[in-house]
Chain A
Amino acid sequence: ETGVTQSPTHLIKTRGQQVTLRCSSQSGHNTVSWYQQALGQGPQFIFQYYREEENGRGNFPPRFSGLQFPNYSSELNVNALELDDSALYLCASSLGVTATNEKLFFGSGTQLSVL
């Protein structure tokens, strides 16, 4: 186990709703990255937070937003849910933003279904 915990494990929402996913990073890790993993595909980078600031973003629209708290836990918020948002959302923590950021420790993910 990595020590990265995500909640909830499963979630069902309807199109147009909003959702908040939560992540507690591994002890000592100050960087959190969020990934979207569609069925049968590899994880796609959404964004990264370092010391409560967004530190890089992938090709996702602004309705995907996040927060990082002083204890380094993080939230992923998705507004105006679309059917294509159905996926496994993975949180990964890492030690820093430079050389030590390369090793990602993933949680088990939140499976989001949008109906």
Chain B
Amino acid sequence: QQQVKQSPQSLIVQKGGISIINCAYENTAFDYFPWYQQFPGKGPALLIAIRPDVSEKKEGRFTISFNKSAKQFSLHIMDSQPGDSATYFCAAYNTNAGKSTFGDGTTLTVKP
């Protein structure tokens, strides 16, 4: 049973455009929702995160939108740049279980 579903699998955006990646979760025990960015040959790096008591969080060009009732959250990358080309993973953390569950990732390509 996949607890965190991520879409799309791949995304191509023109430079300056908006990239949107969506995730849905099932377990209401999740209480922290991070996004990780992974470049080839590297481990995932924490990009931005949100808690379920907040509907939106913005850090620079990156914004998380969170819909608790729908159990969905999304990452928006504004003014996308070629350097943003990477694989993005959403995750959901359960404090009681002490572990993060990851989506399957979205490969973003930003074309110049």
Contacts and interface: CB of A to CB of B under 8 A. Distances in A.
Interface of A: 2, 4, 33, 35, 40-45, 48, 55-56, 58, 90, 92, 97-99, 101-109
B95 A98 contact: yes
A35 B105 CA distance: 15
B32 A102 contact: yes
A81 B104 CA distance: 24
A16 B109 CA distance: 39
Contacts, number: 65
A43 B95 contact: no
Contacts of A105: 46
Nearest to A107: B43
A42 B44 CA distance: 10
Contact of A99 (B95, B97, B100): B95
Contacts of B34: 102-104
B101 interface: yes
Contact-size category for B? 20 to 34
Contacts of A41: 104-105
A55 B98 contact: yes
Given A41-B105, A103-B49, A97 B98 contact: yes
A76 B42 CA distance: 19
Contacts of A102: 32, 34, 49, 93, 95, 100
B98 A44 contact: no
B45 interface: yes
Q: Which 8 A-B pairs have the closest CB atoms?
A: A106-B43, A42-B102, A102-B32, A102-B93, A45-B99, A42-B104, A43-B102, A56-B98
